[in-house]
Structure 1
């Protein structure tokens, strides 16, 4: 799971850094949809991101799932929130060194969160 989390976050960040102008457009579209009463569109966009992250995390399962479906969703949501915040920071005040340091912290935090979710899943079983 740790490798998958790391690959997901780092790969996502590399892609984001190559498409900064697209990231701005995505935020503009989200805000426009919210302003114009089309919250469903903004929700649909974020659900697509969440689904992508969750599917990526779930695909690393071995024969025995390490997390429940709800736990995978929670972990995907955690990563999405972290990435989203880092995108905004990088767009507002670009600083690759700071962003790379923040990515390291997100990787660490996501791994810790996954371990915590796994322990909770085992305790319930």
Structure 2
């Protein structure tokens, strides 16, 4: 077998583990199944990730960073806070929820599994803190570029936005309906923008 750098091999193994779990769920994850998916010997896999717990930790981090990256890149920050919220939510839903049922189901499974697994129980808190920080940052940046102020702290705005999106994702995974989802995303946008109530800084300070 040709030599493969450890960082490349690690990414290969994580991708294989994700593929296994997207087909068979977290309960279907075995080291042998991942080795077969990655087309590497079991011993090679165990050298990279000696335990299934360590592999799960890496998969959760990988999924979180993928979602956080899409969240970060979804917002358009040069037309004010309301526009950033509206387009950010629409773009995120289009890019990572529609036609990504297996990924979103896997994310839900990983959260509940981690909460019940010693050694992984702190990861879900880190996961949601990561999402909220990304959203808080781009909301603050959009408002600053437009010289606007937000009616609530950006941290609170981000928590409510992430919670709203999470709820819509669960509904969409349980009962996919594109028309309902599109309407509900628009309703959530209206609620979040109303909560933010952005206005020009000069007006707010007058």
Check whether TM > 0.5: yes
1:58-80 deviation digits (Å, cap 9, x = unpaired): 22123745138x71111111110
Change (3 A) 1:7 1:63: closer
Greater relative contact order, per chain length (Cα 8 Å cut-off, separation 6+): 1
TM-score of the two chains, using structure 1 as the length reference: 0.84
SS of corresponding position for 1:94:
coil
Q: Report whether the alignment pairs 1:57 with 2:135.
A: no
The 5-angstrom pairing of residues 29-68 of structure 1 reads 29-37=110-118, 38-60=120-142, 61-62=144-145, 64=147, 66-67=149-150
Name the residue aligned to 2:87: 7
**1 CA distance for matches of 2:195 and 2:121?**
29
**1 CA distance for matches of 2:106 and 2:197?**
35
Name the residue aligned to 1:81: 163
Structure of greater Rg = 2
Cα-Cα RMSD: 2.4
Task: Report if the CA contact (8 A) 1:10-1:103 is conserved.
Answer: yes
The 5-angstrom pairing of residues 112-123 of structure 1 reads 112-115=194-197
**2 CA distance for matches of 1:33 and 1:47?**
15
1:90-117 deviation digits (Å, cap 9, x = unpaired): 000011111111001001001100018x
SS of corresponding position for 2:98:
helix
Question: Higher helix fraction: Structure 1 or Structure 2?
Answer: 1
The alignment covers a number of residue pairs equal to 120
Change (3 A) 1:63 1:87: closer
SS of corresponding position for 1:59:
helix
TM-score of the two chains, using structure 2 as the length reference: 0.53
**1 CA distance for matches of 2:147 and 2:185?**
29
> Unaligned regions of 5+ residues in structure 1, if any?
none
Of stretches 26-35 and 11-20 in structure 1, the one that deviates more from structure 2 is 11-20
Change (3 A) 1:65 1:31: same
> Unaligned regions of 5+ residues in structure 2, if any?
1-80
